Structure 1
């Protein structure tokens, strides 16, 4: 009896077909981030690990290739980890306004501080994509809606707190690292958006600075 090649090899051909087995430009960095063997050469196991990361965060094409978008996402995560419990170490968010919500576009981080005292965060956020960037500068919350309906995108925006025209803090269910970004709003995880809702009010200051990677 002759066993068909695909049966003899099990699922490997299907997995290989869905994986990009080429070595990417950020292979070593991605391997190190994921805790893989760092040899700078793509393998089937590397590809599957990279694919899992891409799938978790909505990075497409989800083929396991260590390309620029995947590494940019990981770099942002590393910068967020480095912030620790002192996100305003560089003093870029004002400490002379009392309670203020800070948004650092470069690190895709937000937090609430009162003077120099950290009150909540830092937490990862998802800000405006290229061409729809979240505008920088000093703002103030002027309108709040517990479960706002967007007439532009036709989606619910829970815990919306508007601070710059149609730009608001609000909850989403997708990954904070899902590229290319929002339509300008500061997307937050549900628990973080709910916490912001409880800590902020109309008239509170918001300060946005930096530049989102990829914009």
Structure 2
């Protein structure tokens, strides 16, 4: 018969042995990336001449289907004009590049880092396409930025520089490759490859082209034919309480609408086609309920 003292001693020894066993580390979820995060965890992008802002990415519902028979209130208030730090350079959200923090803080003359659009920018400038930043690359990118008034002009291949190149390529004939179907009626063309959008009637471009931001990898903007079915000038998302000025829904929760922050980011939207406030306001006056939308391509980086 085992005594109580013996049982207690055995229990103590067992607990001590367990305490000495190696303990597997507790798995922790990776922190969510910041809106301007690219590449490695220590490579973050920030507005080149301003502090980052957490309001960068206006989130809209992915599949919040708005009532198709809804009528816009007669007393709908016009969306407010956004006055943000980046508005000071030639219009809303225009040409303040997103660069590594040291490029913004120290105001370096020439960035030694390869940007998120390095290869695409090298290809556009007809440089050696290797995805690596060289002194020659920096000089060429910086010259383009200075010509196009992109600040800071430090030769970093960021989203604003890439977007400006795509807009220049689109030019006055964005449908030169005939990727958007030509119809006798209005068609809103959404080019995911170049991140530009325009409206054409027949072969005539009646709006744009303008830069845009489409859906990110997890929430891509759905391709194919769609129809504008509901519009609201001063809409607010019922799911996220987020402003969606000049919204024009064309497929479930996906829509054209303005954002009050920049559209030039390395990540995309939650599926909507984001526009600057001025462009969304102009598009509002061009499209009508029942107009067709055609989406094709693939957002770079997704």
Q: Sort the TM-score into its range (normalised by shorter chain).
A: 0.7 to 0.9
> Could you tell me how far apart the structure 1 residues matched to 2:164 and 2:104 are?
29
> Could you tell me how far apart the structure 1 residues matched to 2:104 and 2:291 are?
53
The gaps in structure 1 that reach 5 residues or longer are 1-14, 37-49, 54-63
Q: Please report the RMSD computed on the Cα atoms of aligned residues, expressed in angstroms.
A: 2.7
Aligned match of 2:228 in 131, 141, 144?
141
- Superposed displacement of residue 98, structure 1: 1.2
Matched, 1:52 2:152: yes
> Could you tell me how far apart the structure 1 residues matched to 2:222 and 2:103 are?
43
- Superposed displacement of residue 111, structure 1: 0.5
The one-character-per-residue Cα deviations of 1:10-49 (angstroms, maximum 9, x if unpaired) are xxxxx7995587453234434312218xxxxxxxxxxxxx
Matched, 1:193 2:293: no
TM-score scaled by length of structure 1? 0.72
Structure 2 counterparts to residues 1-215 of structure 1, below 5 A? 18=105, 22-24=112-114, 25-27=132-134, 28-35=136-143, 52=152, 66=156, 70-71=157-158, 74-215=161-302
What SS class does the counterpart of residue 52 from structure 1 fall into?
Answer: coil
Partner in structure 1 of residue 35 of structure 2: none
- Superposed displacement of residue 154, structure 1: 2.1
- Superposed displacement of residue 173, structure 1: 2.2
> Could you tell me how far apart the structure 2 residues matched to 1:17 and 1:108 are?
25
The 1:184–1:97 alpha-carbon spacing in structure 2 relative to 1, beyond 3 Å, is: farther
TM-score scaled by length of structure 2? 0.53
The 1:198–1:88 alpha-carbon spacing in structure 2 relative to 1, beyond 3 Å, is: same
The 1:51–1:111 alpha-carbon spacing in structure 2 relative to 1, beyond 3 Å, is: closer
> How many aligned residue pairs are there?
176
The one-character-per-residue Cα deviations of 1:133-162 (angstroms, maximum 9, x if unpaired) are 111111000111111111233211010000
Contact (CA 8 Å) 2:112, 2:133: kept in 1 or not? Answer: no
> Could you tell me how far apart the structure 2 residues matched to 1:117 and 1:111 are?
11
**Higher strand proportion (structure 1 or 2):** 1
The gaps in structure 2 that reach 5 residues or longer are 1-101, 115-131, 145-149
